[in-house]
Structure 1
Amino acid sequence: MRRRKLQAHAMQVLPPLLGVLLFLLAWQMLAGFRSDLPGPGATWDAALTLFADPFYENGPNDMGIGWNVLHSLARVGLGFGMAAVVGIPLGFIVGRSAFISGMLSPIMGLLRPVSPLAWLPIGLLVFQKAEPASIWVIFISSIWPMILNTAAGVRQVPQDYLNVARVLNLSEWKVLTTILFPAVLPYLLTGVRLAIGVAWLVIVAAEMLTGGTGLGFWVWDEWNNLNVAHILIAIFVVGLIGLLLEQTLVLLARRFEY
């Protein structure tokens, strides 16, 4: 029995470990062909130096990576929060009303596939500043998964539930809070998880174009300084934070799967 448990643990640990080792080997081989590409060892040394003081501040355009991460997270949180406030109620309305759904379907079908960065010039034109324009891009990019998944969840609610509510003469608010919301919650959380992934992807590209602060600006600034090691570190930081955000929402969604 104990041997089986050890084998099971080994099969859980060994494949990811081999995958990481193969990735590092391929990275080191590529760095051997390109002298300007830092290998894993050089990148690790640069990361130790970088994270030794992540919150230094030498002016508005020279901040540690910690400040840039916080600025990016703040923009994502604000744009994503605004999208949730608008998108989730709108998803319930679209799912409940065939008329509203038919009215908004062509608009959502037209706007949803638009590249997020295509919205950035509109934001700059309307707001005249880079900060609200970046938040606007996050908002317009992350609102669609929440609307569509919430509406899909509402449509999946069994009609029998709604018939009983009609017989009991429940108000629309009571139907929403006692029937729709508990049933739609797993769909809603899936939409939220997809939306946060989109938001985190978009903010880096938006910050590259708008400048100022944030991980995107920091990556572009390091490229101008030809500091490739810091660019590689930023890639891993972006990936790690995105993974943590997504896994947090996955765990939250599993909590409400019932």
Structure 2
Amino acid sequence: MNPTQTFDRTRLPGTEDKGVSLLARLEPLKAVLLSRVLPPLIILGALVMLWEVLCSRPGAALPSASQMVRETWELITDPFYDNGGNDVGMAWQILASLERVAYGYSLAVVVGVGLGVLVGQSTWALRGLDPLFQVLRTVPPLAWLPISLAGFQDSNPSAIFVIFITAIWPIIINTSVGIRNIPEDYRNVARVIRLNGFEYFWKIMLPAAAPYIFSGLRIGVGLSWLAIVAAEMLIGGVGIGFFIWDAWNSSLISDIILALIYVGIVGFLLDRMVAWVGNRVTRGTAAG
């Protein structure tokens, strides 16, 4: 080899194959970025630019995006500050709301799935309870708040009850529909192999109805998050809903916008979390 020639690694045997192999492995990631990540980023960027242009004009009622960030920078950079009482960071406000949602939603899941199984399995229960459920589920969530405050005499359990009564209806309805739609072949197999009640519930009923149940759970968790934000505006205390109402009373519009962004992100993550669990549980089922 001529000493003056440069050493080119790409011409060595096998190096070209390694480069092609690396590119091939990156192709799926590239496809995901182009199809899933890039479109929402473009839309989000366009909306932020439109927001900035419309609200930067003199006399605009709402702050622009850049002004909102400037005015809420301390809230963004220090979400865990605690000055005592209700003067706490955004992270503590959201965690307080999530704690109430966890209690109310968990109770709604247990009771809702149980009642849904009962209504789906029993024709008598369906005829007796379904009309009652259809009437109660049309009551707006906040209409339950005065009754719960009168009954519990405390704001925190009242808020939890509002979450419970809001989330339970889609869980009951979807669970009962899933139970009624279990294929008759599954029931016949259970009779042939003589499964007892618990075995039939655990091995046949729940797996077959799981896709319907998790559809109700996703709707329920979204309604729970909506209900707690609205309820906290009325009951006060620490929570993202009360933070929004307090910011309105103090004319802190930028704080309200920041809180709304956080509310949307948390609601999205809650929905994705329930959907992820549902995809794992229903994997391998006919409907899933």
Give the TM-score category using the shorter length: over 0.9
AA partner of residue 159 (structure 1): E
Residue 107 (structure 1) aligned to one of 132, 136, 140? 132
Residue 50 (structure 2) aligned to one of 20, 26, 39? 26
Residue 55, structure 1, aligned to residue 83, structure 2: no
Residue 101 (structure 2) aligned to one of 76, 87, 90? 76
Residue 127, structure 1, aligned to residue 152, structure 2: yes
Q: CA deviation at 1:42?
A: 1.7
Q: CA deviation at 1:72?
A: 0.2
C-alpha RMSD of matched pairs (Å): 2.0
Give the aligned partner of residue 209 of structure 2: 184
**Counterpart Cα distance in 1 of 2:41 and 2:81:** 34
Q: CA deviation at 1:37?
A: 1.6
**Counterpart Cα distance in 2 of 1:8 and 1:211:** 43
Unmatched 5+ residue regions in structure 2? 1-19
Unmatched 5+ residue regions in structure 1? none
Give the aligned partner of residue 90 of structure 2: 65
Residue 161, structure 1, aligned to residue 181, structure 2: no
**Counterpart Cα distance in 2 of 1:43 and 1:81:** 36
Q: Is the 8 A contact 1:138 1:199 kept in 2?
A: yes
Other structure's SS at 1:63 match: coil
Give the aligned partner of residue 244 of structure 2: 219
AA partner of residue 145 (structure 2): L
Q: Is the 8 A contact 2:175 2:216 kept in 1?
A: yes
Which ranges of 4 or more aligned residues in structure 1 deviate by more than 6 Å? none
Instruction: Give the TM-score taking structure 2 as reference length.
Output: 0.84
Residue 232 (structure 2) aligned to one of 188, 198, 207? 207
How many positions carry a matched residue from both structures? 258
Residue 17, structure 1, aligned to residue 41, structure 2: yes
Other structure's SS at 2:147 match: helix
Higher helix share: 1
Q: CA deviation at 1:53?
A: 2.2
Larger relative contact order (Cα-Cα within 8 Å, sequence gap ≥ 6): 1
Q: Which has the larger radius of gyration?
A: 2
Instruction: Give the TM-score taking structure 1 as reference length.
Output: 0.93
Q: CA deviation at 1:9?
A: 4.5
Would the alpha carbon gap of residues 176 and 10 (structure 1) be closer, same or farther in structure 2, given more than 3 Å must change?
Answer: closer
Would the alpha carbon gap of residues 164 and 139 (structure 1) be closer, same or farther in structure 2, given more than 3 Å must change?
Answer: same
Give the fraction of aligned pairs with identical amino acids, expressed as a percent.
Answer: 42
